[in-house]
Amino acid sequence: MNEAAGDGAASVALVTGANRGIGLEVARQLARRGMMVILGARDQEKGQAAAKGLAAEGLSVIPKQLDVADDLSVDKLAAEVEDDPGRLDVLINNAGIHYDTWQRTLSADLEVVREALETNLLGAWRVCEALVPLMRRDGGGRIVNVSSGAGSLSEMGAGTPAYGVSKAALNALTVRLAAELRSTGILVNSVCPGWVATDMGGSGGRPVEDGAAGVVWAATLDEDGPSGGFFRDGRPIEW
């Protein structure tokens, strides 16, 4: 997808959970490509601070309060986007919680599991239900669900049960959405950014710029690009 939409206007991207980490870096890289980026953040003040930081780099993003686990928050944002800018070309479902390294499956706190599912799976699902109709109206777009190798059945092991199960479910949502949207011009893919040095991933991972680049790759695919796949660094990985 080019930076300019079909009518010559700048493409519009929404990044959820974008006030820090991978989401913030994805917003930065998309803005550098000339896209109009809506920076979604659960905490409005943190979102505004992140946008201010990008503005200091000469980039323009629009901070918006967005709690993907809250129906009213999602519906409010969808109405605002419908009103202005009136289009959406790229949706990055990045918001995620509970990388629960302290848990094991048979002793997991199921309330933590429910919270992870509410944000990591149902949050992305909720945002898609609210905003994909706007994308369909304009005849195309890109949806990127930021997943993880922790959600890959082929790679999955012990530990992080809430996070891993929620990301596996997110991958299933990707496949379903891609199938339902196949004739609409909307491409839907899951992307694992790899182990990245962020607040959630901890120290020792690779630079956040590298992890974000794979997400941006999927967000800017050409019209004949893949849909319904799981990728890391632009290369397919096993579900």
Q: Residues 69-82: what's their mean pLDDT?
A: 98
pLDDT at 196: 84
Instruction: Answer with the residue of higher pLDDT: 157 or 27.
Output: 27
The pTM for the full model equals 0.94
Residue 162's pLDDT band, with cuts at 50, 70 and 90, is very high
Amino acid letter for position 154: S
pLDDT at 205: 72
Correct CATH for 12-233 of 3.30.420.40, 3.90.1150.10, 3.30.460.80, 3.40.50.720: 3.40.50.720
Angle at 235 between CA 29 and CA 214, to 5 degrees: 15
| 2 pLDDT higher than 70 | no
Q: Residues 217-228: what's their mean pLDDT?
A: 98
pLDDT at 206: 84
| 4 pLDDT higher than 60 | no
| 157 pLDDT higher than 90 | no
Quick one: CA torsion of 121, 149, 215, 29, rounded to 10 degrees?
110
Q: Considering 99, 163, 217, 230, which one is annotated as catalytic?
A: 163
pLDDT at 103: 96
Query: How far apart are the C-alpha atoms of 89 and 81, rounded to whole Å?
Result: 11
Q: Active-site residue 163, yes or no?
A: yes
pLDDT at 167: 98
| 97 pLDDT higher than 90 | yes
Average pLDDT of the chain to the nearest whole number? 94
pLDDT at 9: 78
Q: Residues 101-124: what's their mean pLDDT?
A: 97
Q: How far is CA 83 from CA 59, 78, 180, in A?
A: 23, 9, 26
